[in-house]
């Protein structure tokens, strides 16, 4: 704080000044969050059918709006929209909910990569996607190999499971 060209140094005043600046940034952030949430909701309504949002559409919205997929999933959940047609084949299909089938592979490198990335015996969805990309195979192929190896996939990027 300046007084007639002099600088007054006070830990209390510094904290107050930082606090005021921080609260302003925080308020701006929350205003931005509300605007972002509204935009996400609008896109969900635009890309959905019968109160259902496909995994593909949710990821498209996340990419278009530059937000995390779990944010899209959270907003969909908050307006009671169901996430459907998981790209891993794990949920959202009728009549059996999941469509992934066991897939056998002779690719030992792929199997090793899956097992090397397990956390507490499970493979995270994001890592499964990364493995599919790295090995240039379909996401459902990776989930099918996991089915064959009796490995569960967890931590859905959209927050569905």
Residues near 115 by beta carbon (within 8 Å), at least 6 away in sequence: 149, 151
Q: Which of 19-23, 75-79, 92-96, 125-129 has the lowest mean pLDDT?
A: 19-23
What span, in angstroms and rounded, lies between the C-alpha atoms of 60 and 73?
Answer: 12
* Exposure on the CB side of residue 65, measured as CA atoms within 13 A: 24
**How are beta strands 52-54 and 6-7 bridged, if at all?**
unpaired
14 pLDDT more than 60: no
Instruction: Grade residue 32 by pLDDT with cuts at 50, 70 and 90.
Output: low
First to last CA, the chain: 52
Distance, C-alpha 103 to centroid of its chain: 26
User: Which residues have a Cβ under 8 Å from the Cβ of 155 and sit 6 or more positions away?
Assistant: 124, 125, 126, 161
- For residue 13, pLDDT over 50 is answered with no
Residues 72 and 158 sit within 8 Å (Cβ to Cβ) = yes
| In the block, residue with structure tokens 């002779």 | 106
What's the whole-number mean pLDDT along residues 125-137?
98
User: What integer is the mean pLDDT of 60-82?
Assistant: 97
- Distance between CA atoms of residues 28 and 22, nearest Å: 10
């Amino acid at each position: 704080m300046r007084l007639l060209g002099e600088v007054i140094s006070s830990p209390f005043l510094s904290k107050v000044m930082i606090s005021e600046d921080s609260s302003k940034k925080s308020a701006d952030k929350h205003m931005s969050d509300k605007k972002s949430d509204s935009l996400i909701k609008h896109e969900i309504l635009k890309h959905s059918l019968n109160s259902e949002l496909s995994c593909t559409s949710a990821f498209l919205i996340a990419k278009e709006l530059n937000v995390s997929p779990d944010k899209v999933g959270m907003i969909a959940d908050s307006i009671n929209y169901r996430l459907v047609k998981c790209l891993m084949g794990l949920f959202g299909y009728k009549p059996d909910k999941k469509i992934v089938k066991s897939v056998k592979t002779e690719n030992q490198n792929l199997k090793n990569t899956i097992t090397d990335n397990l956390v507490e015996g499970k493979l995270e969805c994001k890592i499964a996607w990364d493995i599919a990309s790295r090995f240039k195979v379909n996401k459902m192929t990776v989930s099918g190999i996991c089915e064959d190896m009796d490995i569960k996939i967890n931590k859905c990027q959209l927050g569905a499971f």
